[in-house]
Amino acid sequence: MRRSSTETKAVILAAARERFAADGYDKATIRAIAADARIDPAMVMRYFGTKEKLFAAAAEFDLELPELPADQAGVGLVRHFLRKWEADEGLQVLLRTGVTNEAAAERMRTILGGQVMPLVISLTGDPERAPLRASLVASQLLGLALSRYILKFPPMVAATEEELVAWLSPTIQRYLTE
């Protein structure tokens, strides 16, 4: 039984996302990805050309930040971030490899500048301090993901979504409005 070209490409991409998210760029082997997709490693090269290009495709990512009332931005951002992380492997892919890979780090900077900053500007109407505000917000949210999902600090793993929202949202709110 044979798969269509687009089908196979999608299967490979899904397997790649999973592996990159779980293991990071270097430890996610073309052979391992191919095995997950039940396919020969050569096919991965045929469809994506190169491991770097495969990663670029797997790291495609949109935060899909919602419009938010300014006084609930903190709560909304923390909750949205947590749900996005758990629903979409893209963020984990980027964080897992951005730490040791300049291209992935650059991608995260681009997301900060292209997706987070515009929201902060529209929320605060203050283009001057928006870059710093956006970075501070990102620092706390990425720190959350790091300690809960990557380093797995036990209290962060045990905490519920609502507890985390309650603790972190005032921080985010202050970074946006103070």
Partner DNA sequence: GTGCGAAGTCAACAAGTGTTGGCCTACAAT
Partner DNA sequence: ATTGTAGGCCAACACTTGTTGACTTCGCAC
- State the DSSP H helix or E strand holding residue 31, giving kind and residue range, or none if neither: helix 30-36
- CB 28 → a copy of itself: shortest distance, Å? 10
Residue with smaller CB distance to DNA, 26 or 86:
26
Rounded distance between C-alpha atoms, residue 67 and residue 77, angstroms: 10
Q: Is 136 in the site for a copy of itself (CB under 8 A)?
A: yes
Partner whose binding site includes residue 29, from a copy of itself, DNA, none (CB under 5 to 8 Å by kind): DNA
Q: Is residue 111 within 8 Å of residue 141, measured between CB atoms? A: no
Nearer to a copy of itself, 115 or 147 (CB): 147
- 20-34: b or e for each residue (b if 16 or more CB lie within 10 Å)? bbeebbeebebebbb
Provide φ and ψ at 127, rounded to 5°. Answer: -65, -25
- Binders of a copy of itself among 61-120, rule CB under 8 A? 95-100, 105, 108-109, 112
Which of 74, 167, 173, 176 binds a copy of itself (CB under 8 A)? It is: 167
Q: Are 72 and 81 in contact (CB under 8 A)?
A: no
119, two tokens = 């929201």
We find the least distance from the C-beta atom of residue 172 to a copy of itself, in angstroms, to be: 10
d(CA 129, CA 143) in angstroms, rounded, equals 21
Residues interacting with a copy of itself, by CB under 8 A? 23-24, 26-27, 95-100, 105, 108-109, 112, 131-132, 134-136, 138-144, 146-148, 150-156, 159, 167-168, 170-171, 174-175
